[in-house]
Structure 1
Amino acid sequence: MGRNARPVSKATKALAEAIREAQGAANLSGAELARRAGIPYSSFRKIREGEVTISWEQIRMIVAALGIDATDLVTRAEEIEDGSSR
C-alpha cells in the first residue's frame, strides 16, 4: 500500500471476491474481462484483488462484460461480507 493509500473496507474486499467468483463462472481471464469491460488491466487487477474502492460506473462496466445483473453481484458480495455461503 502506498504512502497515501487508505485501507479498503470489508465491503470492498467482499465485492472483489464476488467479482472473482463471477469471473470464474464466466470462464474469463482477468485480461479478457478487463478488455470487455473497457478497464485497463492494471486497474482491473487492483479492483479484482480488493486493493482499491470500485466506482458504480466500474461495477456497471464489469457486470455488462460478465453478462450478469449488478443486483446479483452486490447480493453475492453482501453474502460474502456477512459470512454466508452459497
Structure 2
Amino acid sequence: MADHDASVWSRLLMAVAWPAFLAACLLELVVFALVDPLELSWAGGPLGWSRQAVYTAAFFAFWTVCALSSGVALWLARGSVLRPLATAE
C-alpha cells in the first residue's frame, strides 16, 4: 500500500513539475530574447548581477510560478484527474 501511495504521489508531482518546467523553459526563451539581463535595474540603480545569475534566478522564479499554476489546476480538477491516477495500477 505504501508503494502504491508513493507511486501516486510521484505521478502527481510529475504532473505538476514537468509541465511547469517546460513552461519555464519557454518563458525563459521568450523573455530573454527580448530583455538583456545586464540592462535590468532595481530601485533606480543597476541590478549588479551577472547574466547567468539573472537567467538562473528568473528560471527558478518562472518554474515556481508555473508549478503553482499547475498545482492549482490539478487541485481544481482533483475529482476527474486523481481517481484515474489512483486506480492506474
Output the TM-score relative to the length of structure 1.
Answer: 0.34
Q: Which has the higher strand share?
A: 2
Output the TM-score relative to the length of structure 2.
Answer: 0.33
When Rg is computed on C-alpha atoms for both structures, the one with the higher figure is 2
